Amino acid sequence: MTSDHRVLVITSVPDHIGPILTARFPDLPIRIEDDADKVASVLDEFRPSVVFAIGGEPYPKNRFPDLLAYPSVRWLSNGGAGVEHIGTWDPAEKTVTNAAGVNAPFLAQFTIAAHMSANIGMPRYARQQQARQWERHEWPPLTDRKFCVVGLGSIGRLVAQHAKYFGMRTVGTRSTARPTDHVDEVFASKDLLKALDGAEFVSVHCASTPETAGIIDDAAFDAMADGVIFLNAARGAVVDEDALRRALDSGKIGTAILDVFRTEPLPRDNPLWDYENVIVTPHMADSISGWEVNLTRAFGDNLARWIVGDPLASLVDPTRGY
């Protein structure tokens, strides 16, 4: 491990993030950049060995391959869970980590709150309020109802734990079926339809990979219970949006909570905006106050490992995409 550690941090909130790292690593050359137009010149001038970047603002995700390809960069720390925007790399030459699990507790809180709100009928009451309409509706209790988690990673396992607290019957999928805390029955990913069979709640939290592209298709929706509450907080590519609209048009879906889409921001002419039983949120499920600070502290922990040559946490396997 070379002793020439030089760290470039790309962030829209330098005043929040910079002091955390400079205080922890006072002797380490650290450059904080919040102007995407200056990144190329900073790479040439500073020649970092490590880059920590949070995609979106100020640095668009489609430019992350440029960071990884830069000759001096040995490790790219992605400030988010998904790495589908990074491209391909040789793990013998480059190291990539992500922030999987850092904000998982908060995304799980969003998820269970959204499911519960839909079950109570809050979207309908919001519409009734706009119409000044006083009408009461019964809502079904949660006990013993089937809750399916598609993707029992760090987020999915917490979602299952919350659902289990309410006495729900939890099932889920992961790459291989194996016992998982708070999950009554675990299915291998290839047995997705079995897991979805009769599920009244479906929560999607799997990684976006070539294998998961479009796995929530017509057959998947057909397997769910009529009136299912469906939530996608993973990636838009996991869901076939044409199949989603067909399931909405047929009445198969009771409520859909959608935080991610194939195209983001969701185009204004996308018909998903117009469904009364669709809740659109702008990819914000884990956007708690101070989320960047959480990511930075996790990166700092990994940076300490990198400096002494210890194995890194959240190492991404380029053959799997997570």
Mean pLDDT of the region 239-247: 98
Provide CB contacts within 8 A for 268, sequence distance 6+.
none
**Encoded tokens for 262:** 């194939």
pLDDT classification of 2: cutoffs 50, 70, 90: very low
CA distance 101 to 103: 6
User: In the prediction, which pLDDT does 267 show?
Assistant: 98
Q: pLDDT tens, 31-65?
A: 999 999 999 999 999 999 999 998 777 889 899 99
3: pLDDT strictly greater than 60? no
Chain centroid offset of residue 180 CA: 20
Rounded Cα–Cα distance for residues 115 and 121 (Å): 10
- Residue 115 is a catalytic residue: no
Q: How far is CA 316 from CA 69, 83, 95, 110, 233, in A?
A: 16, 8, 8, 25, 20
In the three-class reduction of DSSP (H, G, I as helix; E, B as strand; rest coil), residue 221 is classed as helix
Q: What is the mean pLDDT of residues 179-184?
A: 98
Tell me, what's the pLDDT at 99? 94
Is 84 labeled as catalytic in the residue annotation? no
pLDDT of residue 322: 66
All residues at 6 or more sequence positions from 305 whose CB lies less than 8 Å from its CB, including other chains: 311, 312, 313
Q: Is 235 a catalytic residue?
A: yes
The answer to whether 194 touches 144, Cβ cutoff 8 Å, is no
The type of residue at 261 is F
Model pLDDT for residues 144-168, shown as the tens digit of each residue: 999 999 999 999 999 999 999 999 9
Residue 23: count other Cβ atoms within 10 Å of its Cβ. Answer: 9
Exposed/middle/buried for 51, CB within 10 Å: 0-12, 13-18, 19+?
A: buried
Q: How many residues does the chain have?
A: 322
User: Residue 321 pLDDT > 70, yes or no?
Assistant: no
What are phi and psi for residue 205, nearest 5 degrees?
-140, 20
Beta bridge partners of 204: 150, 232
Kindly name the residue from 283, 292, 297, 305 that is annotated as catalytic.
283
Strand pairing class (169-174; 146-150)? parallel
First to last CA, the chain: 24
Choice among 16, 264, 276, 320 that is catalytic = 264
Question: What is the pTM for the complete model shown?
Answer: 0.90
Residue 229 is given by DSSP the state E
pLDDT tens column, 245-301: 999 999 999 999 999 999 999 999 999 999 999 999 999 999 999 899 999 999 999
Domains located in the chain, CATH noted:
7-102+289-308 (3.40.50.720), 104-280 (3.40.50.720)
User: HSE on the CB side for 83, CA within 13 Å?
Assistant: 23
Give, for 299, the enclosing helix (H) or strand (E).
Answer: helix 291-308
- 1 pLDDT band, cuts 50/70/90, is very low
Sign of CA dihedral 160, 273, 291, 113: negative
pLDDT digits (tens, 9 = 90+) for 193-238: 999 999 999 999 999 999 999 999 999 999 999 999 999 999 999 9
- The single residue of 162, 169, 235, 241 carrying the catalytic annotation is 235
pLDDT tens digit sequence for 96-142: 999 989 999 999 999 999 999 999 999 999 999 999 999 999 999 99
CA-CA-CA-CA torsion sign (151, 157, 159, 161): positive
